[in-house]
A and B are shown apart, each in its own frame.
Chain A
Amino acid sequence: MGLVVSAIAFLFAMAAAGIAAKRLPQASTVVYGGTAAACALIALWAAVRLAGGGPDASLVLPVGLPWIEAHLRADSLSAVFLIVVNLGGITASLFGWGYERAHHDSHGGPVLPLYPLFLAGMNMVLIAADAFTFLLSWEFMSLASWLLVLSTHRESETPRAARLYIVMASFGTACLLLAFGVLATAHGDYSFAAIRAHAPGAGAAALVVVLILLGAGSKAGLVPLHVWLPLAHPAAPSHVSALMSGVMTKVAVYAMIRVLFDLLGEPEWWWGGVTMGFGALTAVMGVLYALMQDDVKRLLAYSTVENIGAIVIALGLALVFKAAHTPVIAALALAAALLHVVNHSLFKSLLFFAAGAVLTATGSRDLNRLGGLIHRMPTTAVLALVGAAAISALPPLNGFVGEWLLFQAILNAPALPDWSLKIEIAVVGAALALATALAGACFVRLYGIAFLGRPRSRAAGEAVEVGRAMRLGMAVPAVLCVVLGVLPTPLIRLFEPALRLLVEAGPFDGRAYQPWFWLAPTSAIGNSYNGLIMLVVIALLSVVLVLGIHRKASDRVRWSIPWGCGFDGPDSAAVTQYTASSFGQPIRRAFGSTVFRARDHVDMPAPGDTRPARLSVTWTDPAWVAVVEPVSRGVAWLADRANRLQYMTIRRYLTLMFLALVVLLVMVAVSQR
């Protein structure tokens, strides 16, 4: 534990080194190198602890408020998330080092001092063991990431994104504050151990569940509290976007797990039902939003919303099964959640890095200005393909294993006693299947438009491959995506202590024979997955396919039509290609016209008129219309009312004070009876 604390202290020292960046030419190397080293140390420590077992490490530091010490504790759940956070930290540091050199922006805000602080904040949230330290670290993390978003303050959209982010972050922290307040009311002790020992009553527990879903959900991006996320995440520099999207949302998931599974004691069935419902809504809405975006990084941020939805569905399932006293299935669902947490942190970091590489090479995030990058940036293209395939849940990559495990849990729903839950899980499963399929379409669109075809702009045509550090930063998560897809069982074994802590069972309980290359969780259905066989079969089929095409098709004389829809031959204009908007149109028509009220307007000139025809697409965000706008109108109304207090006469102020005094005295007199 002392090791983790000193590594975090070292991160603070790196922040201090970052402040001196203007003087030292090598500061960026020092800061990113030191941050990566500290993260590697913490990740290694956590992995060793998880593998080796042993008692939980804990430490009490005499800092903070005088009568409250800072309780720190790293149990198996913390260790799992420490690995996720610090793995993301290592790759982001590697990529960020190269990215910072390529993107040297002397007018932007400082990134170097804040970047280690952001990682330190996330690590502190994970090892906090009392409500005070937890909230302090949580707010520290929020503020550090907010300042990182503001580092691109010269861009036109950043100030609005940052303002929305700080409002939502404050809202979330306020909800968490209230939740911990309710949890600690009964005994007045804010340490997690005391909260765990005194389970709250049914009403208080219900309040806490709602507050946690609001507070941590707003950080994770649960619909309809996601509105800030697709604005703020893309606004930061790309390696920070990767951390915010891939890692910080996982810290929010950690908060949900910590409270719902650990601190609140025995769950009631409806907690899981509500959680699952929000998860399903989030998954489907997130991917639909993503399909309508033309901005690469914003598309990725919306895809994060979708993946958080999948994780939250898994959490809801685990709660339901835990409440129904089928702990093995609950462990299966929770293992799926944790596996997806790891997976998503890997491939979302990878994809954000790829977006950063594309941004570095072309200076553009607009899909409709990219294209043909596979020829100009071959390494980035291959690595991005791995990320896109993994996030689309294609075997034998890790995304597939996560979704597969989640569906195993969903398929166990008939074991539940309650009919309404059985039906809800069926609906949620269908929604998840829809979201997964749409995610596939979404990433075919992203990859196809950005990397295939011909360049749609001069910048895309002249792009050059990015530097070695950035490529290495992408390669590490890509390799891990493949490894975890082929051999997921050792990782799930690593989760077992955490699962036993939270649901008191493991996913492999009751199985006599459990080889390390075979994933066969205990369930009523008895399905199993073997990544090695999958890999071999896919490799063989690919070889057969490639050979077949080259042998049979390449040497034939081919005939083609001279008029290829205006796009034929090397001289034709690249703008006549299929665009991102065209790719999204069928899905926009099918889903968007009802959910987003998306409308296509065709402005067709009359015959003889020479002006060009125009197609414009309009859509409205239901979360803005239904949630954000009414709330902001209400706040403005209240502020208007409160503003009058500013302009009262001195006698009115005195009267108010006098009345307040009298009311307080009356309250004291009444309470004395």
Chain B
Amino acid sequence: MSDLGYDAAHMLGAVVLLMSFALLYQRRLFSLLNVFTMQALALTATAAWQAYSHGEPHLYITALLTLVLKAILIPVALHRIVVKMKIHRTIEPALGIGLTMVAGVSLVTLSILLVLPVTADATALTRENLALSLSVVLLGLLMMISRRNAVSQVVGFMSIENGLILAAVGVAGMPLVVEMSVAFSVMVAFIIFGIFLFHIRERFDTLDMQKIESFRGESD
């Protein structure tokens, strides 16, 4: 493997992680969607670069799927939902930037500490890639629990999927069918989320989870 291939792959993976950090403190839904789009684009570039540098043409399909689904279709659809529901002006409380950064950096540290000793005999690129993607997954989880709006929780879920795909493209020899199925499960999840969002909205007139929770009869 050439040095350039390693450095470029490393950098693209780092961009995906950087976008995860950026997702954490976006307060407006539109900017959230924009950052998510940029993460998907970075992921597409990673997949394409891996396909090029390793000479594995099936990764181009992954890249194409990511581009179409994650970078175009889902952001556009979510955008339309936000507009249609007239919640684009919502300012949503997220964690403060300082706190977010502390939590995020500690999660990244954790994943590096975890992955590097476990995969001592793998190639350097695989190890770095696994550490990066585990960080993206953990940050996505952190986002899901720190947000109250259903749309941003969906975005958090999607960024977890991005982390998984990052891991899939980084590990040499992952069969195409795995990536395909991940992509399609994301698609299905997105459709279900969309339907649910509309139903929730219709029924409760809000997408704020804190308000919805008060409708549950059993809580005191």
Interface, chain A (partner B; CB < 8 A): 647, 649-651, 654-655, 658, 661-662, 665-666, 668-669, 672-673
Q: Does B218 contact A (CB under 8 A)?
A: yes
Query: How far, in angstroms, from A662 to B114 measured CA to CA in the complex?
Result: 11
Query: How far, in angstroms, from A654 to B148 measured CA to CA in the complex?
Result: 12
A654 touches B145 (CB 8 A): yes
Shortest Cβ gap from B23 to chain A (Å): 16
Q: Which residue of B lies closest to A670 (CB)?
A: B113
Q: Does B219 contact A (CB under 8 A)?
A: yes
Q: Which residue of A lies closest to B147 (CB)?
A: A651
Query: How far, in angstroms, from A661 to B134 measured CA to CA in the complex?
Result: 12
Q: Does B117 contact A (CB under 8 A)?
A: yes
Q: Which residue of A lies closest to B148 (CB)?
A: A651
Q: Which residue of B lies closest to A650 (CB)?
A: B209
Given A649-B213, A650-B209, are A669 and B113 also a contact pair (CB < 8 Å)?
Answer: yes
Q: Does B138 contact A (CB under 8 A)?
A: yes
Q: Which residue of B lies closest to A672 (CB)?
A: B117
B110 touches A662 (CB 8 A): yes
A658 touches B142 (CB 8 A): yes
Can you spell out 24 A-B residue pairs with CB atoms less than 8 angstroms apart? A647-B218, A647-B219, A647-B220, A649-B209, A649-B210, A649-B219, A651-B209, A654-B141, A655-B145, A658-B144, A658-B145, A662-B107, A662-B110, A665-B111, A665-B114, A668-B114, A669-B110, A669-B113, A669-B114, A669-B117, A672-B114, A672-B117, A672-B118, A673-B117
* B187-220 contact mask (Cβ, 8 Å, vs A): 1 or 0: 0000000000000000000000110010010111
Query: How far, in angstroms, from A654 to B110 measured CA to CA in the complex?
Result: 19
Shortest Cβ gap from B139 to chain A (Å): 11
Interface, chain B (partner A; CB < 8 A): 107, 110-111, 113-114, 117-118, 138, 141-142, 144-145, 148, 209-210, 213, 216, 218-220
Query: How far, in angstroms, from A99 to B209 measured CA to CA in the complex?
Result: 66
Most buried by A among B117, B144, B145: B145
Shortest Cβ gap from B145 to chain A (Å): 5
Shortest Cβ gap from B64 to chain A (Å): 32
Question: How many A-B residue contacts, CB cutoff 8 Å?
Answer: 42
- The 7 A-B pairs at the shortest CB distance, nearest first, are namely A672-B117, A669-B114, A669-B113, A649-B213, A655-B145, A654-B145, A658-B141
Shortest Cβ gap from B150 to chain A (Å): 10
Given A651-B148, A661-B138, A662-B110, output 7 extra A-B contacts at Cβ < 8 Å: A647-B216, A649-B216, A658-B144, A658-B145, A668-B114, A668-B118, A669-B113
B144 touches A666 (CB 8 A): no
B209 touches A665 (CB 8 A): no
Shortest Cβ gap from B5 to chain A (Å): 29
Query: How far, in angstroms, from A672 to B117 measured CA to CA in the complex?
Result: 7
- Chain B residues contacting A661 (CB-CB under 8 Å) are 138, 141
Q: Which residue of B lies closest to A661 (CB)?
A: B141
- Chain B residues contacting A647 (CB-CB under 8 Å) are 216, 218-220
Shortest Cβ gap from A666 to chain B (Å): 6
Shortest Cβ gap from B151 to chain A (Å): 15
Q: Which residue of A lies closest to B144 (CB)?
A: A654
Q: Which residue of B lies closest to A655 (CB)?
A: B145
Query: How far, in angstroms, from A647 to B209 measured CA to CA in the complex?
Result: 15
- Chain A residues contacting B113 (CB-CB under 8 Å) are 669, 672
Shortest Cβ gap from A213 to chain B (Å): 43
Query: How far, in angstroms, from A575 to B113 measured CA to CA in the complex?
Result: 85
Query: How far, in angstroms, from A658 to B118 measured CA to CA in the complex?
Result: 21
Q: Which residue of A lies closest to B107 (CB)?
A: A662
Query: How far, in angstroms, from A647 to B220 measured CA to CA in the complex?
Result: 9
- Chain B residues contacting A672 (CB-CB under 8 Å) are 113-114, 117-118
- Chain A residues contacting B107 (CB-CB under 8 Å) are 662
Q: Which residue of A lies closest to B218 (CB)?
A: A647
Query: How far, in angstroms, from A645 to B148 measured CA to CA in the complex?
Result: 20
Shortest Cβ gap from A15 to chain B (Å): 44
Query: How far, in angstroms, from A218 to B111 measured CA to CA in the complex?
Result: 48
- Chain B residues contacting A668 (CB-CB under 8 Å) are 114, 118
Shortest Cβ gap from A439 to chain B (Å): 56
- Chain A residues contacting B142 (CB-CB under 8 Å) are 658
- Chain B residues contacting A673 (CB-CB under 8 Å) are 117
